[in-house]
Amino acid sequence: MAKKAMIERNKKRERMVAQYAAKREELKRILNDPNTSDEEFYAAQHKLSKLPRNSSSVRLHNRCCITGRPRAYLRKFRISRITFRELASNGKIPGVTKSSW
């Protein structure tokens, strides 16, 4: 089980990413537009740098939704390999069977 503080910190980042997503998208659109003037470009760049760091989606880390484990994460199931193995062995994941039966 991961530390509760780390799990909560990642949840806080997820909320912040969602909150600032539209603003970040607009500023990035201005930065990527080749027709943007230098003044607009630098203004958008400055505004983007003033946004909170945790509002960037790059800072999110995939974690197991049951245990919070940050490593060995299976995207399709949104859980770690250890949790996946336990649930699959108990027959709680539909359509998943052991290959060596």
The pTM score is: 0.78
CATH classification (class only), 1-61: mainly alpha
Main-chain dihedrals φ then ψ at residue 35, nearest 5 degrees: -90, 5
Q: What is the tens place of the pLDDT at every residue in 28-75?
A: 999 999 999 999 999 999 999 999 999 999 999 999 999 999 999 999
62 burial via Cβ count (<10 Å: 0-12, 13-18, 19+): middle
**Alpha-helix residue ranges (DSSP H) falling in the chain:** 4-32, 38-50, 81-89
Q: What is the tens place of the pLDDT at every residue in 72-99?
A: 999 999 999 999 999 999 989 998 887 8
Task: Kindly tell me if the per-residue pLDDT of 26 is higher than 80.
Answer: yes
93 burial via Cβ count (<10 Å: 0-12, 13-18, 19+): middle
Per-residue pLDDT, 100: 72
- CATH 1.10.287.1480 domain span(s) along the chain: 1-61
Tally of CB atoms within 10 A around 64: 23
Per-residue pLDDT, 101: 59
Q: How confident is the model at residue 2 (pLDDT cuts 50, 70, 90)?
A: confident
| Distances from the Cα of 43 to the Cα of 20, 33, 38, 46, 89, angstroms | 17, 14, 8, 5, 56
- CATH 4.10.830.10 domain span(s) along the chain: 62-101
Considering the domain 62-101 in this protein, what is its CATH number?
Answer: 4.10.830.10
